[in-house]
Amino acid sequence: MVAQGDLAKDVQRKLDKAIARCIRHLQDDQLRRLTLDRGESDRAQVENAPSLSRLLLSLNSTAASTLADEIDSLYELDESYSLFVPATEPSARTATALLTAQTLVGLLRGLETFTQLVYYLPAGDSFPAALRYVAVPLRIKDQPAFPYRGFMVDTARNWYPVDDILRTLDTMASVKLNTLHWHITDQQSFPLQIPTFPDLATFGAYSADQIYSTVDVAKVVEYARDLGIAVMLEVDMPGHTASIAAAYPEHIACLKARPWWRYAAEPPAGQLRLGRPDTLAFSKRVLQDAARLASSAFFSSGGDEVNERCYVEDPETTAALDARNATVDELLGEFVQGLHETLIESKKTPVVWEELVLKHDLGLTNETVVMVWMDSANVRAVAARGHRIIHAASDYFYLDCPSPLLPAPFGTDLVSAGGAGAWLGRYPNGTSWCDPFKTWSKIYSFDPLFNLTSDQHELVLGGEALLWSEQAGPENIESIAWPRAAAAAEVFWTGGSVEEGQRTVGEALPRLHDWREA
C-alpha cells in the first residue's frame, strides 16, 4: 500500500517530469506550418496576439493511483483527455489553457497533443525573438479506440543500445503508442540476463557488451512508464531458441541441423525439446525470471514456427513420443500449458502467435491473447475460437518487408527496390516472402474490425507495427520505422474504416507531414 502523502508526492513527481519534457520540447522544437511561406503570413497576427501564459492540468479522479498502478492496468485504463485553448480579445494580455483527464496517463496523452499544436517562427525584423504560437480557439476531446497500441522491436537479430530503445520510446509516446513489444531473444542470440541462469546471456549474446542486464531492462521499463508506456517482453518458445544451446545444449533438439530450412524458419536450426521434464522446468523458470522484469500485464511466450520435423528426427523427443504414445501436438500442448501456468502465477496474461491456436490443437483457454501475424484474413478464425486479438498482420504491419517490386533492368524478373530483400541466402531473385513494401498509406487503410461480427468486435484489443531486425539496427531504425509506425498508431487510436470514410488518407497526410518535421 502507498500512503496518501506518498501517493500525492509520487503523482507530483511524475507530473513534474512530464511537464519538464513538454517544456523542453516546446523550447527545442522548430515546427513551422506546412504552407508555401512556412507560416510567415501568420507573423503580423502572432506578434500582436496575447500570450498563452499558463496550461492548467486537472486530474479529475476519485480513485487516486500511482503511474505504476496505471501501467499495471493499462489495457483497462481510461486514457481520455480534454484540452481547451480559448480565444481571447486582442486587448487581453494573457490567456490560460486547460487540460483535464481522469488518469495520469490521460494527462500524458494530452500533453503530447498540446506540444504538437505549437508552431514556430524565427526572429524577424519587427520582433527580435523567436515566436511559438497556437491557432485558437481549440477544444479537443480525445480517447483511444483500442486499449493496446504497440510497436515491436527485435533486439535478438541485431542488438540495440539502451539509449536507442529510450529514443524509440520517446517517439512512441509522441504518437500515443502505449506498449513496447520487446522481442528480446531468438535463434541468433540470447541477450537477456536471466538471474537464475546467467550463462544464457554470457554465452548466448553476441558479445559481453551486447547484453541487457536486469538493470538495463529496469531502466527501459521505468523510462517507458514515465511516458505512459508498458513494456511487454517476449521470450519465444519452444521454437526460435537455438541460442540457448550455447549454454544449455541438452535442452535443444536438432541443433544446427542441415539443411537448416528443413528444420527451422531461419538458421541456425534448434528448438527446445518436448517431453523432457527438466527442459520444461528450465523454460518455466526462464519465463518466471523474465516476467518479473516487465511492466505490461501481458507477456508473450511466442510459439510461432514450431518445426515438427525437428522433433520427429530428434532421438530424445521421438523416445518421449513413443514412450507416451503421444503426438507432437500433445507434447507441445503440455509444454505451452506449463509455460502459461507459470505466467499466470506471475500475474501475467499469456500472449502467443497465431499458430498455437490455428495450426496446433492445444486447448488454450480464451484468456490467452493471440497475435495474428501470418495474414490479416486469419483474424476471423481466431475470433471464432473466442480469443482476444492483437493485430500484427505481415500484409500490413511488417516494417522490415522490402521496397516495392520494380522491373529488373534486363529480363522480366522483379527485384526489390532499395536492397531490403531476404537475408536467408536461398532466394536468388532477391525478394522477400513478405513483399511488397508496406507504405504508410497501406498501413493506414487497415480496418481493425473488418470481416468480424458485431459480437466479435470486443475481442479486438488493438494492434502494432513490427520491426524484425535481420537488416535493421540502431543506425537505421528511425528511417525504417517512422513515419509508417505513426500511421499504425493512428489506426488503433482513431479506429474506424477508410472504406467507410471514417478515416481518410488525405486528412492524415498533413498530420504526418507535421509529425515528420517535429
DSSP string, 240-278: S-GGGGGT-GGGEESTT-SSGGGT-SSSSP-EEPSS-HH
Mean pLDDT value of segment 396-425:
56
| DSSP bridge pairs for 180 | 151, 231
On whether the CB atoms of residues 66 and 10 are closer than 8 A, the answer is: yes
Mean pLDDT value of segment 104-111:
98
Grid cell digits, residue 114: 498540446
Active site residue 305: yes
> Which region holds residue 418: left if phi is over 0, alpha if psi is between -120 and 50, else beta?
left
C-alpha angle 186-442-158 in degrees, rounded to nearest 5 = 20
The answer to whether residue 42 scores a pLDDT higher than 50 is yes
Question: pLDDT averaged over the chain?
Answer: 92
Grid cell digits, residue 434: 513478405
Give the residue from 57, 179, 144, 164 showing the smallest Cα distance to 479.
Answer: 164
The answer to whether residue 414 scores a pLDDT higher than 60 is no
d(CA 288, CA 45): 60
Grid cell digits, residue 367: 484468456
Mean pLDDT value of segment 185-207:
99
CATH of domain 148-517: 3.20.20.80
Instruction: Provide the residue ranges of all domains of the chain, joining segments of one domain with +.
Output: 4-142, 148-517
370-393 residue pLDDT tens: 999 999 999 999 999 999 999 999
Give the residue from 45, 219, 209 showing the smallest Cα distance to 136.
Answer: 45
Entry field: residues in the chain: 518
Residues 6+ positions from 323 with CB-CB distance below 8 Å: none
The answer to whether residue 360 scores a pLDDT higher than 70 is yes
Mean pLDDT value of segment 358-378:
97
Confidence at residue 503, expressed as pLDDT on a 0 to 100 scale = 84
Of the candidates 47, 79, 222, 305, the residue annotated as catalytic is 305
The answer to whether residue 417 scores a pLDDT higher than 60 is no
Burial class (CB in 10 A: 0-12, 13-18, 19+), 425: exposed
- What band does 515 get if pLDDT is binned at 50, 70 and 90? confident
What number of helices (H) and strands (E) belong to the chain?
18, 18
Mean pLDDT value of segment 309-323:
97
On whether the CB atoms of residues 123 and 129 are closer than 8 A, the answer is: yes
240-295 residue pLDDT tens: 999 999 999 999 999 999 999 999 999 999 999 999 999 999 999 999 999 999 99
Confidence at residue 469, expressed as pLDDT on a 0 to 100 scale = 94
- What band does 429 get if pLDDT is binned at 50, 70 and 90? low
| DSSP bridge pairs for 349 | 298
